[in-house]
């Protein structure tokens, strides 16, 4: 398995939409590439490479005026929608330079349910004819996140993905007085999984012993969890009256840093008072994962091999199989064939 490769021609959650206010830009590194996010005059988001082609000045230090960004160094201006150069102030009229031929790379950028997603193509300037849907778009359409938490994990993307999906660590890592007594009480679980686009799905099942918050969603509360490449997990909980969505999107910054975005949505009105609590729990939860991964790093530096044992490790096996098939199908110019087969997994957690 080529574990270290990053996958392209996919959407990545870059940052919460509220971090990009009108007239303000935000710089983020995604897959090792410096990117600048902002909004056009009409409010739609844009993303361009945060790098002036003249002398490598990050464009984040420039200023935006209407739909153009001006580099802080020599004032070159670029259109934020197309990346084309609009003006080079140092030129005299006699200079025969076609400034529009100079371009900063731009990337498709979409705002979906309070998050900005960027599409990173395999080859710059070559987009597929139709872009795939943004992960979780259907479940979160029209909703605003009530909780939106992002944390940087000091590890390679793969370790963050398998660390977050893994069911067996919860009883050991996610311990606290309100959640778990720390006595590692494990129960046997049995869940049916099936292939889904670019990933797998834990088929919808009824939450019988509903914990109290789920009752707010009404009766017959059920949940469905999907995972898809590159690293997006969407849990869709639904009752007869309301729904909640828990979205985790993992985005590589570099070989050694990964950002985990955790967004929670619910349709129950008037639960504003719950937000601080939900935020605190989400933060604590993510922090426990982050700490575990941090401790793991010296081990990985010594020897990064891993074992897959039992059904508890099946999701991790599938992740690497999906990734391998994604890379292979693209190299061979053929359609992706989902390596996941429907099956029931049994484990204790
Ligand atoms: S470096 Fe940007 S204009 Fe010169
Ligand atoms: Fe976890």
- Residue 185: pLDDT band with limits 50, 70, 90: confident
Instruction: Give 235 Cα–ligand 2 centroid separation in angstroms.
Output: 14
Q: What is the DSSP string of 165-230?
A: H-STTHHHHS-BTTTB-SS----EEEEEEEEETTEEEEEEEE-TT--GGGGGG-SS-EEEEEEETT
Backbone angles phi, psi at 190, to 5 degrees: -140, 115
At 179 the pLDDT is 54
CB-based contacts of 88: which residues, under 8 Å, 6+ apart?
Answer: 74, 75, 76, 97, 99, 102
Neighbours of ion ligand 2 (CB under 5 A): 289
pLDDT one-digit tens code per residue, 80-111: 999 999 999 999 999 999 999 999 999 999 99
Ligand found nearest the CA of 78: 1
Strand partners, 110: 117
Of residues 248 and 181, more confidently modeled = 248
| Best residue among 55, 97, 99 to mutate for probing ligand 1, ranked by most atoms within 8 Å of CB | 55
The response to whether residue 57 sits with its C-beta less than 6 Å from ligand 1 reads yes
Residue 176 pLDDT exceeds 80? no
Per-residue pLDDT averaged across 272-277, rounded?
A: 84
Q: What's the rounded Cα separation, in Å, for the pair 31 and 257?
A: 10
User: pLDDT tens-digit profile of 52-62?
Assistant: 999 999 999 99
Query: Stretch 44-73: mean pLDDT, rounded?
Result: 97
The fraction of the chain above a pLDDT of 90, given in percent, is 81
pLDDT of residue 193: 97
Average pLDDT, the chain: 93
Q: Check residue 209 and give its pLDDT.
A: 66
- Report yes or no: 227 and 93 within 8 Å, Cβ to Cβ: no
Ligand nearest the Cα atom of residue 77: 1
Tell the burial category of 89 from Cβ atoms under 10 Å away from its Cβ (0-12, 13-18, 19+).
Answer: exposed
Tell me which DSSP letter residue 133 carries.
P
* pLDDT of res. 274: 83
pLDDT band at 332 (very low <50, low <70, confident <90, very high): very high
* Any atom of ligand 1 within 6 Å of the Cβ of 89: no
* Alpha carbon distance 348, 172 (integer Å): 12
**Ligand 2 centroid distance, CA of 111 (Å):** 27
312-317: long-range pairs with CB below 8 Å, 24+: 312/166, 312/167, 312/168, 312/347, 312/348, 312/349, 313/166, 313/168, 314/193, 314/345, 315/162, 315/165, 315/166, 315/167, 315/200, 315/227, 316/162, 316/165, 316/166
Ligand whose nearest atom lies closest to the CA of 175 = 2
Is-contact 46 40, C-beta < 8 A? yes
Whether the per-residue pLDDT at 178 is higher than 70: the answer is no
CA of 75, closest atom in ligand 1 = 3
Ligand 1, atom 1, lies closest to the CA of 55
pLDDT over 60 (residue 154): yes
Residues 229-243, mean pLDDT to the nearest whole number: 95
Mean pLDDT confidence for 305-323 = 96
In whole angstroms, give the CA distance from residue 157 to residue 288: 17
Ligand 1 mean position to 76 CA, how many Å? 6
Better-predicted residue by pLDDT, 92 or 179: 92
- Look at 230 and 281; give whichever has higher pLDDT: 230
Q: Is the CB of 76 under 6 A from ligand 1?
A: yes
Any ligand 1 atom below 6 A from CB of 73: yes
pLDDT for residue 271 is more than 90: no
Q: Give the pLDDT mean for 281-303.
A: 94
Question: What local confidence, expressed as pLDDT, does residue 158 receive?
Answer: 95
């Amino acid at each position: 398995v080529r574990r270290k490769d990053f996958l392209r021609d996919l959407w990545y959650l870059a940052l919460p939409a509220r971090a990009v206010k009108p007239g303000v830009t935000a710089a983020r590194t995604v897959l090792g590439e410096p990117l600048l996010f902002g909004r056009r005059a009409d409010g739609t988001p844009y993303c361009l490479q945060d790098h002036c082609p003249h002398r490598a000045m990050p464009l984040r230090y420039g200023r935006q005026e209407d739909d153009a960004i001006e580099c802080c160094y020599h004032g070159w201006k670029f259109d934020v929608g197309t990346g084309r150069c609009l003006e080079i102030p140092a030129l005299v009229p006699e200079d025969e330079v076609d400034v529009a031929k100079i371009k900063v790379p731009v990337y498709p950028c979409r705002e979906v349910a309070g998050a900005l997603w960027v599409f990173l193509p395999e080859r710059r300037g070559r987009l597929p004819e139709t872009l795939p849907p943004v992960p979780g778009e259907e479940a979160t359409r029209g909703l605003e996140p009530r909780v939106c938490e992002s944390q940087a994990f000091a590890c390679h993307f793969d370790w963050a993905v398998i660390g977050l999906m893994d069911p067996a660590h919860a009883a050991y890592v996610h311990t606290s007085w309100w959640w778990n007594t720390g006595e590692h009480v494990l129960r046997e679980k049995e869940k049916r999984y099936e292939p889904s686009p670019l990933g797998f799905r834990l088929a919808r099942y009824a939450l019988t012993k509903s914990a109290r918050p789920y009752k707010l969603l009404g009766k017959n509360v059920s949940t469905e969890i999907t995972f898809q490449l590159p690293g997006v997990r969407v849990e869709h909980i639904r009752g007869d009256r309301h729904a909640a969505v828990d979205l985790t999107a993992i985005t590589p910054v570099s070989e050694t840093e990964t950002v985990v975005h955790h967004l929670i949505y619910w349709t129950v009105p008037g639960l504003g008072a719950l937000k601080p609590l939900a935020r605190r729990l989400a933060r604590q939860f993510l922090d426990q994962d982050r700490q575990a991964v941090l401790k793991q790093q010296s081990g990985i530096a010594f020897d990064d091999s891993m074992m897959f044992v039992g059904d508890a490790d099946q999701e991790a096996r599938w992740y690497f199989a999906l990734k391998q098939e994604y890379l292979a199908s693209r190299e061979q110019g053929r359609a992706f064939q989902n390596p996941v087969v429907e099956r029931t997994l049994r484990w204790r957690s």
